[in-house]
Amino acid sequence: MNYKVFSKNYENSLRKEYQGRNSEYSFGTRAIEGGPSHVAIICDGNRRWANENGVSVEEGHAVGAENVMRLVERAGELGIKTLTVWVMDTKNFKKRSKSEIRNLIKLFLFYAMRFKREYLSEDIRFRHLGARELLPKRLQKIIRELEQETAHKQQATLNVAFNYGGRDELVRMVKKIVEDGVDPADIDVELLSNYLDTKGQTDPDMIIRTGKDQRLSGFMPWQSEPSELFFPNYYFPEFTPDRFEEVVKEFPSRNRRFGA
């Protein structure tokens, strides 16, 4: 398949669908009875999708990033209060090539600014999950501004896990507890939860992993304890809003015993 033709056609398809969205963020217009409140997505498979379709890894990530924006819109329509997207693991942040990391950082900057431009007027809170101090200063500044400017919003929350790893989160949690001089007698589940990146949020009701692998790869080891797991057989760029909705509709049929 010709790279330029494929790239142009796919870009035009995405752009046409995205520009066709409602001018206002329509929260809950397609709400599912008994549906999840917090959905987390492990956005895996951009590189393999690119390789199998004869396009660059850079474009694979770009198409994946565009897809996140589309899923934010659909999640709102489905009445999902919190959407978490894991887009970069701490391990990958360290081992991927410098050029690929630079491209991913540029994508994050671009879409953070786009979120600010298109969604700042909506009732959506933005939060970053992960080791922020290792990110470029400019990106840290954008993240900080977005979090501050949306801190008062309550209808929905978008968590972007970039340079996030489950074990890294737990290590950072322990370090903060030690730094704060917490009395061991005061340590309980609630206290530990308040030292996580997701402080103040409910745990994910469902975790969806794309990419055709069936594992969590260390994602949210603390918060995933009550989560229902779903592994649709798609790479992330293929995981369209309609396919996302199909998976979310499976949630009410799960028999959640919570250990009982």
Residue list for the binding site: 44-49, 61, 93, 96, 209, 215-217, 228
Is 159 an annotated catalytic residue? no
Please state, in angstroms and rounded to a whole number, the distance separating the CA atoms of residues 224 and 232.
18
Q: Can 89 be counted among the known catalytic residues?
A: no
Dihedral Cα 176, 181, 187, 190, nearest 10 deg: -50
d(CA 108, CA 61): 10
Please list the alpha-helical segments (H only) found in 123-233.
137-150, 166-179, 189-193
133/151 Cα distance (integer angstroms): 20
Separation of alpha carbons 90 and 101, rounded Å = 11
**CA–CA distances in Å: residue 212 to residues 124, 168, 231:** 30, 24, 7
Say which of 22, 51, 92, 242 is annotated catalytic.
92
User: Residue 115 burial (CB < 10 Å; 0-12/13-18/19+)?
Assistant: buried
Q: Which residues contribute to the annotated binding site for substrate?
A: 45-49, 61, 93, 96, 209, 215-217
- Residues annotated in the binding site for Mg(2+), as ranges? 44, 228
Catalytic residue among 2, 9, 22, 44: 44
User: How many C-beta atoms surround the C-beta of residue 201 within 10 A?
Assistant: 20
- Provide the annotated active-site residues: 44, 92
